[in-house]
Amino acid sequence: MMSLGVRKFRALLLVSCFSLGMDGLAEIIDSSIAGHLLGAPALGAIGLLWPVIEFVYFVAFGLGGGSAVLYSTAAGSNDNREMSRVFSNGLLSSLALGLLLTGALYALRDVIIASFGADAATSAESASYWNGYLANVALFPLYSYLSTMVT
């Protein structure tokens, strides 16, 4: 007979696997739409900016994961004051991180795009895609933090 913890883990594992699969499928569909409807430069722009997007994910998930460990440690010690402090600091840090990353990526946009060596059409599409993505950069650390802390 499985323990309650193992059953919960398996249920969450299935949900996580499904979520990751759907994320990959969404990326394939997005790329297909961009390539067919907007052309090769748009598809190139998505591929060009993917390392930057992954960097934002890495930083945001790092903050959320680190905060979750500290929060869990405080919860295990029944230290409500420390739990509140960790949660508040993480919340403010995720907001600040989002704003900092947005500002830095906005300021460095042209330098980063040029460093990839794309042609003029792909660079122009990349700049357009980049500007639209900045709204996500501003909010993703907060989303990642809250998602990690709730689950």
* C-alpha to C-alpha distance for 134 and 50, rounded to whole angstroms: 13
Q: Which of 12, 137, 141 is nearest to 67 (CA)?
A: 141
**Ranges of residues in the chain whose predicted pLDDT is under 50:** none
pLDDT of residue 1: 61
SS3 string of 58-71? HHHHHHHHHHHHHH
* C-alpha to C-alpha distance for 145 and 151, rounded to whole angstroms: 10
pLDDT of residue 101: 93
Q: What is the DSSP letter of 78?
A: T
pTM of the shown model: 0.72
pLDDT of residue 13: 76
* C-alpha to C-alpha distance for 40 and 63, rounded to whole angstroms: 35
